[in-house]
Amino acid sequence: MSAMKIDIYIIGVGGQGIGLLSEVLLRAADYAGLPVRGTYTHGLAQRGGTVSSCIRIGSHAHSSLIQPGCGDMVIALERNEALRGMNSHLRNCGTLVYYDIEFQPLLVRLGKEPLLKPEEISAECLRRSILEYRIAPTKLSNPKMQNIALLANIVKYNCIPNISLSHFEHALEDLLEGNRLKDNLSLFHLLSTSK
């Protein structure tokens, strides 16, 4: 199991819960007995700027940073950031998993970048032989749970092998408590096991 190698670049807009998502992935990999390293970049989180994180699973990871163009997977919490992360860090033939919402990153709000359509991302994935998982928005009781909705779909589609549902559950139990834990676990179970 320790021979597994996967470099995951996570990207989104400040306030979307990238920190929690990253920490859940780190702890779940650790619970699975896999060597793991990670780093979290705050960026312009308070101003709606890009926030990113690197998770490296496997004994190959001597540093926590993923070099541009070398990531095996990009996880994005926003459509525009999905393309940005894919272009900056994802290798050809990698995997893109993204939550298909428009959160209007700072450069879009400033009129320096256009809002993207899902078809534009799909075309780029096709051109680069990237496996694409476009996750349609789910009606959530709390919009702050988009990160858990995305995580549940990552588990549902087995995007990260050798980490089981229970490993993710233990990680969530470490990080959340009370009603927040209950609500997030309920959503996680619902979406990760749905057909």
What pLDDT digit, counting tens, does each position of 36-88 carry?
999 877 655 455 677 899 999 998 877 788 999 999 999 999 999 999 999 99
Identify the pLDDT of residue 4.
79
CA within 13 Å, CB half, 130? 31
- Token pair of 6, please? 């996967």
Fold of 6-192: Pyruvate-ferredoxin Oxidoreductase; domain 3 (3.40.920)
Which residues in the chain land under pLDDT 50?
A: 1-2, 45
Strand 6-13 with 36-41, pairing: unpaired
Identify the pLDDT of residue 63.
79
Report the predicted TM-score, pTM, of the whole model to 2 decimal places. 0.91
- Token pair of 103, please? 């959160």
Residues in the chain, overall count: 195
Identify the pLDDT of residue 1.
41
Show the beta-strand stretches assigned E in 62-157: 71-76, 90-99, 131-135
Identify the pLDDT of residue 48.
62
- Residue 5 identity (one-letter amino acid): K
- Token pair of 42, please? 């705050």
Q: Decide if 25 contacts 73 (C-beta within 8 A).
A: no
